[in-house]
Amino acid sequence: MRTDHRSKPGKDLSPTEPLASRAERELEALGRLRRERPKVFLVLIASVFVVGAFFLYDHFWGIPGLKERIADQEKEILRLETQLAPFRALALERYSLPEGEALAKLAGNLALLEERLNQYFSKVRQFEVVVEVRVAANWAEEQPPNSTALLRDDRSPVLTVDTKLEDGSIRQILLFATENPHIGPDPAAPDGAIIAYRAAARAGDWIIGSERADLVSTEHVALVTWGLERSVVSDGRVRVREISLVFFVNGERAHVIEKRSDQELVLPESPQGFSTLQWTESEPFGSGI
């Protein structure tokens, strides 16, 4: 049988064919496809664009971005391992258990400790108020009296605060002076003076040991001004300009009341007497901080 070695019609796949000729023939084939089967041509072109877009994204963003994410995760793992190291050492030292069980037991005990600490800090252990009263008067001398004229009375509260609680009830906090009150000139007013008090609730008062979150608002405040006697002013009267109460719970600033006033105090005959500033105004607890 003789074999026909004559060339058949079709693409010439000879590797020696010039590249330009091959490109020209492929373009002619695409042109025929576009004229004869336009829908197939559009699908082909769209597929080429999609494949090219995926290739470009993966080459320029995908692989480098993946490497960067892997590097970030490795850094995060190293950071967590560093933070875990002292807890792992503590757990293995304290509990004769496999590492995983020892860490789980330590975590449970730490959670219990956190709960107890939260309960401890939620209670009121200290309740203090810093008071400043700005007054004006026709002083008998050029300057207001010095602090030695103000005497602390340990037997009676210098400040009472009616407080509304979460359950709607009203309870009174009694605060006693913890140091002798101080009086000094008011730099903002030539005829003025600042009387400063510091008072605290005593052990045994209901507020000590109560839940801090139960304090809803302050309702009625009564402030006693001890030690100012009538002889320190020419007319026996003192005009109150401003009152500032700063409340501290467990040593942290917790509530502020600032009030302008036009009250006038008639001073007693002797330092053992007292005058009282009082007002009723609901202030949500936590205001002013």
Instruction: Please give the model's pTM, rounded to 2 decimal places.
Output: 0.61
Half-sphere exposure of 261 (CA within 13 A, CB side): 24
Tell me 139's DSSP state: B
SS3 state at 11: coil
The percent of residues above 90 in pLDDT, for the chain, comes to: 25
Distances (CA, A) of 183 to 31, 34, 154, 249, 277: 102, 100, 18, 25, 17
Tens digits of residue pLDDT in 211-220: 989 999 999 9
Give φ, ψ of 101 to 5 degrees.
-70, -40
CB 226 within 8 A of CB 151: yes
- Give the residue-averaged pLDDT of 40-59: 65
Does pLDDT of 271 surpass 60?
A: no
pLDDT tens per residue across span 222-253:
988 765 667 778 887 888 899 999 999 999 99
Instruction: Please report, to the nearest 10 degrees, the dihedral formed by the alpha carbons of residues 241, 226, 207, 251 taken in order.
Output: 70
Query: Which two three-digit tokens encode residue 184?
Result: 């000094």
Q: Give the closest residue to 278 by CA, choosing from 199, 212, 220.
A: 220
Residue 221 has pLDDT above 90, yes or no: yes
Q: Are 136 and 191 in contact (CB under 8 A)?
A: yes
Q: How far is CA 27 from the centre of its chain?
A: 68
- H or E element in which residue 108 lies: helix 99-122
The pLDDT mean for the chain works out to: 79
Structure tokens at 212: 């801090």
Specify the pLDDT at position 155. 77
285: Cα within 13 Å, side-chain hemisphere: 19
pLDDT over 70, % of the chain: 70
Dist. CA 227–CA 196, nearest whole Å:
12
Q: Are 268 and 229 in contact (CB under 8 A)?
A: yes
What does the angle CA 40 – CA 43 – CA 44 come to, to the nearest 5 degrees? 85
Residue 220: name the closest of 185, 262, 154, 174 by CA: 174
pLDDT score of 7 more than 60: no
